[in-house]
Amino acid sequence: MANININDIKNGMTIKIDNNLFTILEFQHVKPGKGPAFVRVKMKNVRTGATIDNTFNAGIKVETARIDKREMQYLYSMNDTYYFMNMEDYDQIELSKDVLGKAVNYLKENLSVMVMSYENEIVGINLPDKVDLKVVETEPAVKGNTTSSAMKDATLETGYVVKVPIFIGEGETILISTSDGKYVSRA
């Protein structure tokens, strides 16, 4: 891939450092009164999802990485293997739970996701910002408890357990944020 000057990076760009792929979340060029300029970068590891801060000397070269994204539909899972289908050519791929990480908490049949790959290696998926999931198990609301901030556990159709307000009952569909895994609202 192409090498670029660290001063030319942009938010959303993917770079390769020590065989790790990182997406630039934010950056800041710093020119102190004394000493050389440098670039502070907040970046996310594409494979692990970990966010790190790093500082680079201005003017160094970094390797860019091209991440291919394809829209695919989640079909089903068997054991720890998850199956996705490309809606254009109907090719199917299998992804392990290790590659998907926390995304398995939000996967339900027919959900469209963006599958990311780098040089024919699938490195992860991008979920929609919010997904609607059905509550399959929760405690009934206690009569008389009208505290507006009271929360209880609810088990969703994917097996994920989330805190919801006490007025949410079994069988209801709710919106969950995929960025932090929290309840947003009723669907």
On the question of pLDDT at 111 being above 80, the answer is yes
The whole domain housing 33 covers 3-64
Q: Evaluate if pTM is beyond 0.95.
A: no
Same domain, 136 and 111: no
On the question of pLDDT at 48 being above 80, the answer is no
Rounded to the nearest integer, the mean pLDDT of the chain is 86
- The residue out of 16, 32, 64 marking a domain boundary is 64
Query: In the sheet where 20-30 sits, what is the strand order?
Result: 3-5, 61-64, 14-17, 20-30, 38-45, 51-57
